[in-house]
Structure 1
């Protein structure tokens, strides 16, 4: 146990050292990235290249490699302990033009901060990096794909976190007055002309003469009366470089090159062009080097993320049912990535309303339904000096311990006994012990 106590003492000294670093370092460093600023602090203090500094960075990288996928809306919570050096990461799928509100609440038991990173692309480009606050971050996806959210406390940081991600409207105004996305009756990709083409927009049904509104600030680039769209207005979304298409109008009430703001009148709903045989509606489309699905940009109806009661999660639990499924996402519709036998111990990483995010001793990361897990059975051990390993499969990196300070809580997949002390330090014994 002396080795463990020495390690923790070194950690405490490092934290004091970090806190006393010259603040001029941050003033010189100009990056807005909270992660880059903290990494710069570690570098200038000499900690970045130490064992704990390297472990802090590697845990951030490992979190990305084992990130689980979540579906919006979602609420998930968990804890970080000061004696651990960890990070958490999750990915969400977003369509181009979709927006989400991300709230990360950090209740620290010390003065530590929680670094929040939003990354995307195969190169994991950093989009945002900031310290957690209660204010929501509104994020709009500029392309369809996976977006990764990572959280990590500063070294020795301890506290509880809760992440909430909900959909939110991208455009300030819906294109048809008095309506919302529930009025859309024909969506992107619907078959047209017997399968010869597909619908490159959405149809918003409303009474003839209903006001058609500019959903965003822009410039009118065309006012036409021809072809399939009949009476139509084109508006350039100057912020995104999109061309917005409003078709089948009964009347056009703007002129070419006119500047418009959200809520300004563009025209009135009708059924001109090839819509003469259908009920009045607005065909709304978005073009950017070709048509893109406009629905994510004008969606207005979103489910709320569930409310989670703040709770202190157990560090380790055990499976209470044979052949329990670990799934890729917190839903029974997601892929089964592993099956666990009864009494298998798992580490608790986080929790949603009905699921625990877990990691097995072998490193499998996924979700187990809450009812499949119970508290571990803790068995006191007799006094005995022996060596215990810090990793399940390690044949080195062992510590000298007195078993009287530990309790047995189960076995790993390779047959090693798991032992834990009152501070939550988990070690592994060979079968001989």
Structure 2
């Protein structure tokens, strides 16, 4: 009987230790996976933002049914912009891939001869991103204005004497120009802040945060917590907040769920092109 009691104590102690280990390990795994997910998503959006919008627009215009295939193949050449000798060596191969696509060969059946493994991986990775993340997909998003506007890529430029960086794209037009939601989502923030002045923040259905700042007026029908549809009026353009000394413009920003702001310029160019087609 004594031996049985000792055996039970050992089993109980072992079970307690095992439970403690499991309780520590499972949250660690969950947190690790969450971090990896956010980092990989951040990298994916960053990689997509590096695609040349002119290339995307061209192939959406001339090859709408297979534009992703062409963009992924062209990306093999663009990714080596710091290695001119390698660019020259793969240029004929890239042209050969484009010719295969022109002849109706499926992307998965392309003859990749002449490219190294890393270049092939890059092309296939790019093609996967274009399927996984729909920022470039026609009809999924729209340009925030319905009128021709002026904007350049100033993401990362110094602000306040270098104390912070510009985390968006400034779209210029006249005061009072209507501004519309680029996507479906939920209204998360409305009203004044120091930098953005009158601003609206929308949590898109994709999980990203869409930031519209320096508004002259906010649509009075908008309420925090309510849904908003792509194309719904957000407000009108102004220069409120820290833009008081600058021409009227919309500061448009995109923040990922992990808190990282990404450059929206490439997507805006493509959205603008597709929005014009749909008018």
TM-score (normalised: structure 1): 0.34
Of 240, 260, 265, the match for 1:272 = 240
Q: Distance in 2 between matches of 1:125 and 1:205?
A: 35
Aligned to 1:248: 214
Query: How big is each residue's C-alpha offset from its partner over 1:253-281, in whole Å with a ceiling of 9 and x where there is no partner?
Result: 12212222221101111111111111111
* Distance (whole Å) between structure 2 residues aligned to residue 299 and residue 231 of structure 1: 25
Other-structure match for 1:297:
267
After superposition, where does 1:349-360 map in structure 2 within 5 Å? none
Cα distance 1:273–1:140, how it changes in 2: closer, same or farther (>3 A)?
A: farther
Residue deviations 1:46-97, cap 9 Å, x none? xxxxxxxxxxxxxxxxxxxxxxxx976389xxxxxxxxxxxxx9451689xx
Partner of 2:250: 282
Deviation at 1:142, TM superposition (A): 4.2
- In structure 2, C-alpha distance between the alignment counterparts of 1:226 and 1:121, rounded to whole Å: 44
Aligned counterpart, 1:201: 168
Corresponding residue for residue 226 of structure 1: 193
1:106 Cα offset (Å)? 2.9
Aligned residue among 75, 93, 109 for 1:92: 75
Give the distance between the partners of 1:115 and 1:211, measured in 2 at CA. 43
Residues 213 and 266, structure 1, Cα contact 8 Å, conserved in 2 = yes
Return the match for 1:262 from 207, 210, 230.
Answer: 230
Looking at structure 1, the residues matched to 241 and 216 of structure 2 have their Cα atoms a distance apart, in angstroms, of 10
Provide the C-alpha distance between the structure 2 equivalents of 1:140 and 1:171, rounded to a whole number of angstroms.
12
- Give the alignment of 1:155-194 within 5 angstroms: 172-180=141-149, 183-185=150-152, 187-194=154-161
Deviation for aligned residue 1:219? 1.5
Question: Separation in 1 of the partners of 2:131 and 2:269?
Answer: 13
- Please say if 1:212 is aligned against 2:176: no
Q: Residues 208 and 285 of structure 1: is their aligned pair in 2 closer, same or farther, counting only changes over 3 Å? A: same
Q: Which structure has greater strand proportion?
A: 1
Relative contact order, CA 8 A, sep 6+: which one is greater? 2
* Equivalent-residue separation in structure 2 for 1:232 and 1:126 (angstroms): 34
2:184 and 2:205 in contact (8 A); partners too: yes
The answer for the alignment partner of 2:130 in structure 1 is: 139
Provide closer, same or farther for how the CA distance between residues 173 and 90 of structure 1 changes in structure 2, counting only shifts above 3 A.
Answer: closer
CA distance in 1, matches of 2:264, 2:139: 11
Q: Does the CA contact (< 8 Å) of 1:171 and 1:298 recur in 2?
A: no
Task: Decide which structure has the larger Cα Rg and report it.
Answer: 1
Q: Which structure 1 residue ranges, 5 or more long, are not aligned?
A: 1-69, 76-88, 96-101, 108-113, 129-137, 144-166, 303-433
Question: How far is the alpha carbon of 1:197 from its aligned partner?
Answer: 1.9
Greater fraction of residues in helix = 2
Name stretches of at least 5 consecutive residues in structure 2 with no aligned partner: 1-50, 60-71, 80-97, 111-118, 274-279
Alpha-carbon deviation of 1:120?
A: 8.1
CA RMSD between the two structures: 3.9
Q: CA deviation at 1:186?
A: 6.1
Instruction: Please report the TM-score for the alignment, with normalisation by the length of structure 2.
Output: 0.51
Name the SS of the counterpart of 1:139 in structure 2: helix
